[in-house]
Structure 1
Amino acid sequence: MKVFTRESGVAAPLARDHIDTDAIIAKQHLKVITKSGLGRYLFSDWRYLEDETPNAEFVLNQPCYQQAKFLISGENFGCGSSREHAVWALDDFGIRAVIAKSFGDIFYNNCFKNGVLPVQLPVAAVDELLARASKEPLMLTIDLQAQTIDSKEQVWTFLIDKALKKILLEGLDAIGQTLQHQQAIQAFERVYAQKFPWLFKGEKL
């Protein structure tokens, strides 16, 4: 999983509330089980017209936002179904953080499992960021260790759970966190195998 420490880049404004996971990636694109390649389907119903040509009016199709690293949005971002593909699509497109007024709970936790930082800021702060990003490309630096968002003109601070922060700073998904205890797990297995050898017949511990 990607480490998130300090990232700088353009923030794209998507001033909508209640963007659900079906809007982030539509159900017809959920047939794959790999994470790569899903970026082209991100917001597909908004990014493409009926003939599958790019919708020039959609923010991520505009030249100044095509390489955006951050997304700024409204209330309840990522609500709806629990599909993890929504975060996969954001990550594959290149979005490293989503700044919003609030998030769907499952989506919020899925972000930390996949190296994307969800930042919740007060309504007034998000409205200001949306207004500035809508006028011209807004460059931001997000420092996870310091828990700050810096636009050079202003700095905002955000709150984050310490355990979730550690996951991103160290780039540890669930498997990576488990492997940190590999020696203890192996020691347990050896003791367990001595007590119940018939369960481990033919296995090397």
Structure 2
Amino acid sequence: MEPFILHRGVAVPLLRANIDTDAIIPSREMKRVAKDGLADGLFAGWRYVPGTPRVPDPSFVLNQPPYAGASVLLAGNNFGCGSSREHAVWALKEFGIRAIVAPGYGAIFHNNCVRNGLLPVALPMAAVQALADDCAAEPAERQVTVDLQRLEVVSPGGERYAFALGSEPRQMLLEGLDPIALTLKQAARIDAFQAADRMLRPWIHSDAGVQ
């Protein structure tokens, strides 16, 4: 998994509250269990003209030329609520989104982001709106910087917004670790515990043999 340390990119505003995982990727777009091949289905109910196979709707912000290549998503409160489908995060990542900035998230979606290398930043709505306003005139030139080491978002105008993230999620993102890789960092301690426990209670270990 790619570490997240510092990222600067075009920020796209989708400032609706309660965008659920079915809006992020409708169930009809989930035709595989792999993590790839999902970007085309991202926001499919909004990105495409109804009744057409894949005709982009020019009124939807992700289809507008100034936001081409956007990698920071500015969103409303409770982003990623609804079902627990991990495909929502996979679709966002494959599309190119590296960080989301919103006032709050669905709890499972937030955890899925961390476990897949996508940074969920929580800032007050006033700060999210200020970032959107600061980028609006020239999104390609007025990019947003998200710094996980400093725990801050920097607007194009230089305004700094501090955010919080738990120590374990932050470590996972900074080092590009999934939960298994994070656990394996303690491999030496795990081995030492198992060796000591095997001496104390050999009967509970499957490799102790039968006397």
1:13, 1:133 within 8 Å by CA — same for their partners in 2? no
Where do 5+ consecutive residues of structure 1 fail to align? none
Pair 88,125 (structure 1): closer, same or farther in 2 beyond 3 Å: same
Question: C-alpha displacement at 1:162, in angstroms?
Answer: 1.7
Secondary structure (helix, strand or coil) at the match of 2:4 reads: coil
**Mapped contact 2:13–2:75 kept (Cα < 8 A):** yes
Aligned to 1:159: 164
- Looking at structure 1, the residues matched to 103 and 138 of structure 2 have their Cα atoms a distance apart, in angstroms, of 21
**Deviation for aligned residue 1:140:** 0.9
Deviation at 1:197, TM superposition (A): 9.4
TM-score (norm 1): 0.89
- Mark the CA change 1:198 to 1:15 in structure 2 (over 3 Å): closer, same or farther: closer
- Find the counterpart in structure 1 of residue 186 from structure 2: 181
For the residues of structure 2 that align with 1:85 and 1:99, how far apart are their CA atoms?
Answer: 19
Deviation at 1:23, TM superposition (A): 0.3
> Percent of counterpart pairs with the same letter?
46
Match of 1:119 in 2: 121
Paired residues of 1:193 and 1:199 also in contact (CA < 8 A): no
Question: What is the match of residue 46 of structure 2?
Answer: 46
Query: Post-superposition shift, 1:177?
Result: 1.0
Q: 1:148 aligns with which of 141, 147, 152?
A: 152
Q: What amino acid sits opposite 1:144 in the alignment? A: L
How many matched pairs? 202
Name the CA distance, whole Å, in 2 between partners of 1:39 and 1:66.
14
**Cα distance in 2 between the residues matched to 1:2 and 1:186:** 28
The answer (yes or no) to whether the contact 1:69–1:95 under 8 Å persists in 2 is yes
Question: Cα distance 1:29–1:191, how it changes in 2: closer, same or farther (>3 A)?
Answer: farther
Partner residue of 2:25?
A: 25
Q: Quick one: distance in 2 between partners of 1:11 and 1:60? A: 10
